[in-house]
Chain A
Amino acid sequence: MEKSKGQRQPRRQIATPGLSITFVEAEEAEIIQTVSEWRTRHLLFLTSEASHENFEIFFFEHLQTSKGSLTARDIVDVARLGHPPADRALRHYIQICSEARRLDEMPTSVIDYLMRDVAAGAPLRSGYPSTAPQVANNVMRDVAICWWGASG
């Protein structure tokens, strides 16, 4: 058939030495199926809710242990910028300290957050608007694409 100007033709398939096209296609289908099955099995770990929950746990653990370079003051700053995981971690930490009668042991920045922010309003609802950068929403998906898991 004569090709008219500007008209696209299907790309010619070129055989790989040693491998037939059908073998390559079958292998690719198997790979996609394997990864899809893995994704379906771990879907709960890959959602934006799971990402937010991980950040909340991360902030909460730092509040409890006070290890590393992330201080309580940093977490309070992040919460005051409106990030729900930091706000929820702080509220959880304050609740635990309150029930254990250890409010006076809390860092001063957390006490300030309790008096000025927790007392002033309800917790922020989890998640970010669609106009926000999606970096926090997609972090678990991106980790799953790029890295090994714990047992990998």
Chain B
Amino acid sequence: MLCATLPSAGGVPLVKRRWPNVPLKYSFRERRSAVALVGTAFALSERQTLRIYEARGAMAEQLIRFFHGYRNTPTPANKDVSFVD
């Protein structure tokens, strides 16, 4: 559902398709990995990007856990003023 809203590939899959010689997850000597390079473009560290990439299979579970387990208590900052006068 969510993937369908993005018109084309942009992250790690794009890099691996166009530059197959680039290592996927782990930088090797002076050769930076696809994950590290994508992270730079997304203003993230290599470690953050790797964590996101490695957790991609569990993203749906994380969302389900978030929606069913997290109570978002409305505060004056995120609750609209009532329409009623």
Contacts and interface: CB of A to CB of B under 8 A. Distances in A.
Contact of B37 (A32, A58, A121): A32
Contacts of A151: 7-8
Contacts of A121: 79, 82
A90 interface: no
Interface in A89-135: 121-125, 127-129, 132-133, 135
B37 A35 contact: yes
Contacts of B68: 77-78, 81
A21 B30 contact: yes
A36 B30 CA distance: 21
A127 B66 CA distance: 14
A31 B1 contact: no
Interface in B44-81: 49, 52-53, 56, 59, 62-63, 66-68, 70-75, 77-81
Contacts of B31: 16, 24
Contacts of A31: 15, 18-19, 22, 34, 37
Chain A CB within 10 Å, residue with most, of B34, B66, B82: B66
Contacts of B72: 81-84, 124, 128-129, 132
A72 interface: no
A42 B49 CA distance: 18
B77 to A, nearest CB: 7
B6 to A, nearest CB: 4
A144 B53 CA distance: 10
Contact of A149 (B8, B67, B83): B8
Interface of B: 1-15, 18-19, 22, 29-32, 34, 37-38, 40-42, 49, 52-53, 56, 59, 62-63, 66-68, 70-75, 77-83
Given A125-B78, A144-B11, 8 more contacts: A27-B19, A35-B14, A129-B77, A136-B67, A140-B6, A145-B38, A147-B6, A147-B9
